[in-house]
């Protein structure tokens, strides 16, 4: 069974999810397409952070 360690990186994942939610709320209230640029930025950072956490956990488990 794979055990995941709690690390400081999980906080940055939560901040990215919160930022995406805030910018999506702003987009749906204003319908301005330029608001979607930070959403794509934070989504790419979120994907990078999750991949980094999974890589660290794989390294620690073996």
| pLDDT digit string, tens, across residues 12-44 | 778 888 888 998 888 888 888 888 888 888 888
Q: What is the pLDDT of residue 60?
A: 61
Domain that holds residue 44: 31-62
Q: What is the pLDDT of residue 5?
A: 59
- Tokens coding 60: 């620690």
Is residue 37 situated within a structural domain? yes
Task: Return the number of other C-beta atoms located less than 10 Å from residue 49's C-beta.
Answer: 17
Is residue 50 situated within a structural domain? yes
Task: Return the number of other C-beta atoms located less than 10 Å from residue 42's C-beta.
Answer: 20
- Cα–Cα dist 59/26, whole Å: 39
Is residue 43 situated within a structural domain? yes
- Cα–Cα dist 12/56, whole Å: 15
Is residue 36 situated within a structural domain? yes
Is residue 23 situated within a structural domain? no
Q: How many domains does the chain have?
A: 1
């Amino acid at each position: 069974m794979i055990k995941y360690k709690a690390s400081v990186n999980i906080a940055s994942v939560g901040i990215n999810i919160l930022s995406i939610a805030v910018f999506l709320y702003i987009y749906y209230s204003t319908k301005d397409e330029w608001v979607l640029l930070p959403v794509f930025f934070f989504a790419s950072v979120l994907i990078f952070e999750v991949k980094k956490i999974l890589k660290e956990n794989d390294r620690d488990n073996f």
